[in-house]
Amino acid sequence: MRVYYFIQTCSDSETDTETEGEQRSPSPNRNVHRSWRSALQFWSLAVLLSLVGSRVSSLIVLEFSLRAVSAWASAGLDANGRGPDLILLQSQFSLGCGLSCTMFFLHQGAPHSSLSLFLAAALSWALASYSQSMWIHVATLYPLHSTKRYCGKCISLLSSAHSLLASLQKVVILFFVLANVASIATVYDQFLSQKDALKFWTPLTLCYTMLVVYIQEDQSRHTIQEALLQTVVLRLGAILVLMLTVGDWSDILHVLITFLGEAVCLLPSQDLLQAIIKEEEDTQESRYVQSSSHRTRDGSGNTLNES
């Protein structure tokens, strides 16, 4: 996401005049070379995800999927609805929970299932290292390489960067579809297999769905930062109340750990949040300019007809 927004900023700067381009030219992020912070964030998140049980992880995946579908529906009905970028930003910890509960589901009963978690962590670390190296390369050298055109990596990004975020969204959607299957199976085994469990969970699910829809409609009245904070507090608070009702003390502890996990994911992503806010402001401004131009043209047409 950082690579995508950085390239978008470079493309916008190239359309300005030379003076304006120098004023608006994107400087490399101050956190580009602080790889130790990325490593600390990665391993902190890995430890927190290993502490969260499969029961709570499954509920987080299902709750996030419900919220994402509601946000997508409300954005499709509302012309001023917020795009999927904010949902993608909020999906970081839920993606980790989906990975952990899927691995638990696939290796349930295996004698050495912990080895699969170490393998998943190693593969994730390799992917994170590659992404970090690409971000450092793009943030420091892309403005030069994109004009000189002698770097294959930057040339490929120059031609395909517009589809980078869309491809990432498709991969995330596909992963959540697979994680929902494992989450539903885990929730059924852990919660719904008991006698008369459906009589309790059915009205609870309906009430929570109505709450999610109401919150989604109410978020359009707030800024993105306020909506993001409200969403995190309400969704984890709802799961905490649910675990106080049907869970045990370990589940309550796991929900409290998820608060730390969300903070580890969202606090270092403030630059992405600012980029999303800027893109939303630019989109609203372009829509306003287009609507104003249409009204001007319609008014000129009516004047000519009257003449």
pLDDT for the residue numbered 80: 47
Nearest to 92 by CA among 66, 67, 116, 64: 64
pLDDT of residue 211: 72
> Per the confidence metrics, is the pTM higher than 0.95?
no
H-state helical runs in the chain? 2-14, 18-24, 35-51, 54-77, 84-90, 92-106, 113-148, 152-160, 164-187, 197-218, 224-246, 249-266, 270-306
Query: What distance in Å separates the CA atoms of residue 130 and residue 136, rounded to the nearest whole number?
Result: 10
Q: What is the 3-state secondary structure (H, E, C) of 183-223?
A: HHHHHHHHHHCCCCHHHHHHHHHHHHHHHHHHHHHHHHHCC
Residue-wise burial string across 95-126, b where 16 or more C-beta atoms lie within 10 A, e elsewhere:
bbbbbbbbbbbeeeeeeeeeeebeebbeebee
Residue 98 has what pLDDT?
92
Instruction: Provide the 3-class DSSP secondary structure of residue 151.
Output: coil
- Residue 53 is classified by DSSP as -
Residue 17: predicted pLDDT: 39
Phi/psi of residue 107, nearest 5 degrees: -110, 25
Tens-place pLDDT, residues 204-252: 777 777 777 777 666 666 677 777 777 777 777 778 877 887 778 888 8
Task: State the pLDDT at residue 230.
Answer: 75
Q: Is 142 exposed, middle or buried (0-12, 13-18, 19+ CB in 10 A)?
A: buried
Q: Could you tell me how many residues make up the chain?
A: 307
Residues lower than pLDDT 50 in the chain = 17-28, 30, 77-81, 304
